[in-house]
Amino acid sequence: MVEDIRRNEEAGSDDEGQGRADAAGRRDLAVLAAVEQGLLTEAAPVVALLDVAGVRASAAALHAAFAAVTAPGTRVLHAFAVKAAPLVPVLRLLHAEGIGAEVASPGELGLARAAGIRPDRTVLDSPAKTPAELREALALGIAVNADNPQELTRLDALTHSAPTGSPIGLRVNPQTGSGSIGALSTATATSKFGVALRDEGARAWVVQAFLDRPWLTRLHTHSGSQGVPLALMAEGVRTVHELAEEINAAAGRQQVDTIDIGGGLPVNFSSDDETPTHAEYAQLLKSTVPGLFDGRYGLVTEFGRSLLAKHGTVLARVEYAKSAGGRAVAVTHAGVQIATRTVYNPESWPLRIAAYDAKGRPKDGPDVAQDIAGPACFAGDVLATGRPLPLLEQGDLVAALDTGAYYFANHYAYNSLARPGIHGFTTPGRDTTTHGVRFATVRAPQTVAEIVAESGGGHPDALVRD
């Protein structure tokens, strides 16, 4: 492992895909250091670790991917989809790497502002924006993508009553079809998002809506997340570019000056390979929609999962190792509260699990099929069923890999389980021992007092007063 780390550092590559042994080496070192430095305790039997170098490398790879396909001078804003990792220090790290924010609620906007992300690097996309949210966004100068005709009517009134510097766009649904996970496919015929472009009369309506509103200058689409084939995503972007050209021809000017292509690059949850890469997607877009990259259009992207997922690890203690009906079961502290999608929909969201011993060293031994169970009180709270791993014992550790996006940062408060602490780690220089590993608190573990306070603890008599 140590040798792997050296070899890759010497190669000096921060290329996606090639950083594989690097990332696995950094992760093993961080697990060892987390145990040595006492991050895992009886009071904190589950923690989340975030690989800062990995996040930086993904951000750099995203910039490079689009720089390689755009004409010189093209305006490109990469806005991170905040829902994928709603954590202020993460947003600040991405900001330092030149990445803005895509927000979809007052809370997410608050996080982006707390991270110091400027309004002109922020995009508001929610499907249910209230008048108050719209007013605030317009007052701040944040880009707004309207979802539907009623929202455009609200914007008519708001832009009429107060001038705004906000670029305003319209989200369209190219209705190109579903990916493999229905719940995350936003370009189906009946999706709740955007103006359904293939519905009867919709296209003509959209063109007229732009002609009637000189301030409407952007088009937005997002075909979905994890499970949508790249070709389908690219097809959605092609549809929207074609629509922009049609609007601009009808307007006799470059009214649509920016196209927001959304996010949705899927992540490989089955190995340390980072595939597909941002570069592959950018190249596919360039070959599918060459006109998008000739310099006439500014671009906005909204990637979430592909920037963060591979860089997060959940580390949990095995509290008990038992056997039931001939099956080995490791009862751990990582379950539905940090891996909600995996627990409720294991076929769509399988996670890799790594086994470590109590000291945080990779565990060896013959593979034994075992269930990796969580701490919650329902039978389905299982991260992996019949998974071949070295037989886990009481006090060992399990790591749920690729959990940097939509997992530990999106806590689910079942059984009033505490939000685990999140620690960013760096492994500076060529030091391949744990001495070089530094942790920084991204989010402190939630305390029982905080859980009580959030659960009405401040007004226990609310329902029994006469």
Ligand X SMILES: *Cc1c(COP(=O)(O)O)cnc(C)c1O
Residue 131, amino acid: P
Q: Does 102 bind ligand X (CB under 6 A)?
A: yes
Residues 291-310 within binding reach of ligand X (CB under 6 A): 302-306
Q: Does 262 bind ligand X (CB under 6 A)?
A: yes
Of residues 222, 317, 363, 423, which one binds ligand X by CB under 6 A? Answer: 222
- Of the two residues 147 and 381, which places its CB atom closer to ligand X in the complex? 147
CA torsion angle 245 247 248 250 (round to 10): 120
452: part of which helix (H) or strand (E)? helix 448-452
Residues 177-206 within binding reach of ligand X (CB under 6 A): none
Q: What's the min distance (Å) between Cβ of 389 and ligand X?
A: 28
Q: What's the min distance (Å) between Cβ of 191 and ligand X?
A: 11
DSSP string, 205-269: HHHHHHHH-TTEEEEE---BSSS--HHHHHHHHHHHHHHHHHHHHHHTS----EEE---------
The residue among 441, 341, 336, 333 whose CA lies nearest residue 394 is 333
d(CA 307, CA 304): 6
- Of the two residues 70 and 225, which places its CB atom closer to ligand X in the complex? 225
- Of the two residues 126 and 332, which places its CB atom closer to ligand X in the complex? 126
Q: Catalytic: 236?
A: no
| Sign of CA pseudo-dihedral 26, 29, 33, 34 | positive
* 216 Rama class: left (phi>0) / alpha (psi -120 to 50) / beta: beta
Of residues 16, 28, 97, 125, which one binds ligand X by CB under 6 A? Answer: 125
Q: What's the min distance (Å) between Cβ of 109 and ligand X?
A: 14
Of residues 26, 27, 78, 83, which one binds ligand X by CB under 6 A? Answer: 83
Of residues 19, 264, 335, 421, which one binds ligand X by CB under 6 A? Answer: 264
Strands 46-51 and 76-81: unpaired
Q: Does 100 bind ligand X (CB under 6 A)?
A: no
DSSP state of 456: I
- Of the two residues 262 and 360, which places its CB atom closer to ligand X in the complex? 262
Which one from 157, 377, 413, 444 is the annotated catalytic residue?
A: 377
d(CA 251, CA 247): 6
Q: What's the min distance (Å) between Cβ of 387 and ligand X?
A: 26
Q: What's the min distance (Å) between Cβ of 106 and ligand X?
A: 16
- Of the two residues 276 and 362, which places its CB atom closer to ligand X in the complex? 276
Of residues 25, 236, 263, 420, which one binds ligand X by CB under 6 A? Answer: 263
- Of the two residues 217 and 225, which places its CB atom closer to ligand X in the complex? 225
Residue 365, amino acid: G
CA distances from 227 to 180, 184, 189, 267, 409 (A): 5, 8, 17, 9, 21
Number of residues lying near ligand X (CB under 6 A):
17
- Of the two residues 174 and 304, which places its CB atom closer to ligand X in the complex? 304
Measured in whole angstroms, the distance separating CA 77 from the mean position of its chain's CA atoms is: 17
* Cβ pair 29, 432 in contact under 8 A: yes
* Residue span binding ligand X (CB under 6 A) among the ranges 109-117, 150-158, 221-229, 450-458: 221-229
Residue 207, amino acid: V
Q: What's the min distance (Å) between Cβ of 301 and ligand X?
A: 8
Which single residue brings its beta carbon nearest to ligand X?
304
Q: What's the min distance (Å) between Cβ of 123 and ligand X?
A: 9
Q: Say how many C-beta atoms besides its own lie within 10 A of residue 16's C-beta.
A: 24
Q: Does 169 bind ligand X (CB under 6 A)?
A: no
Of residues 8, 122, 173, 225, which one binds ligand X by CB under 6 A? Answer: 225
d(CA 318, CA 357): 10
Q: Does 89 bind ligand X (CB under 6 A)?
A: no
- Of the two residues 123 and 373, which places its CB atom closer to ligand X in the complex? 123
Tokens of 461: 């008599």
Binding-site ranges for ligand X (CB under 6 A): 81, 83-84, 102, 125, 222, 225-226, 262-265, 302-306
Give the residue numbers annotated as catalytic, written as ranges. Answer: 377
